[in-house]
Amino acid sequence: MTDRLARARTTGILAVLRAPSPEHALRTAEAIIAGGVTGIEVTFSTPEAPAVIRELVSRHGDGIYVGAGTVTTTAQAQDAVAAGARFLVSPGTLPDLTRAMRDTGAVVMTGAMTPTEVMGALALGVDVVKIFPASLGGPSYLNALRGPFPDAPLMPTGGVRPDNLADWFAAGSVAVGAGGDLASSPSIAAEDWDDITRRARAFAAALAASRR
C-alpha cells in the first residue's frame, strides 16, 4: 500500500506562506527554498493563490512539495489542485468541505484542537489532523494527545520554531507547519529575502539535527 504521507514525512516542514501579492509570495517562496525548506503551503489569504502554486510547480516540479492552505471552500480546493497542489490544508474541519477536499485526490489536512475535534477529523478520513493553534499547548499537548490517539497522523502549526522543532517530532509529528517564525510578515513587507532565507536555513538545520 502506498504511503500517502511519504512526501510530507520526508519534507518535514511546510512553510505557511501568507503574502500581500503574488509577486511577494513567489519571492518569499524562492527565499524559503534557497534556505533548504522545500514544503510550501500557499494560503488562500494570498491573492491569486492558484496562480502562485502553478508558477512554483512550473519552476521547481517535484523538487518541492507544494500545497494550498486556508482552504475554506470547495472551489478553492478544486482550483488549487487544478493548479498543481499536492496537499490541501484547512484551518478547521467542516464535513462537506472535508469530503470535497478528499474528492480531489490530494492529501487532506484539516484543523482540530480538542480530542473531540481530532476524532471528528479522523472519522471523516483526513490524511493528517492539523493541530492548530499548536502554540496554545506546545509539544507537551501534542504528546498528551498521543494517549488516546497513538497512531493518529498529527501536524502542529503555530508556535513551531527551530529551538523546539525536535520536541515536536519527539511528540510524534508527521510534519510541522511553520508560519511567522519562518516567513515573517515584517520581512516579507520589507522585502528582506535574505532574512527569510536565514530563517529557513535555521529550520532546515534543526530538522536535520532532529533526525540524527
Query: Which residues form the catalytic set?
Result: 41, 130
In whole angstroms, what is the distance from residue 86 CA to residue 16 CA? 14
In whole angstroms, what is the distance from residue 185 CA to residue 191 CA? 10
How far is the CA of 92 from the CAs of 25, 121, 141, 206, 209, in angstroms?
23, 9, 18, 28, 31
DSSP per-residue string spanning 123-141: HTT-SEEEETTGGGTHHHH
**Bridge partners, 89 (sequence order):** 109
111 three-class SS: strand
Q: Is 166 left (phi over 0), alpha (psi -120 to 50) or beta?
A: alpha
Q: Are 81 and 53 in contact (CB under 8 A)?
A: no
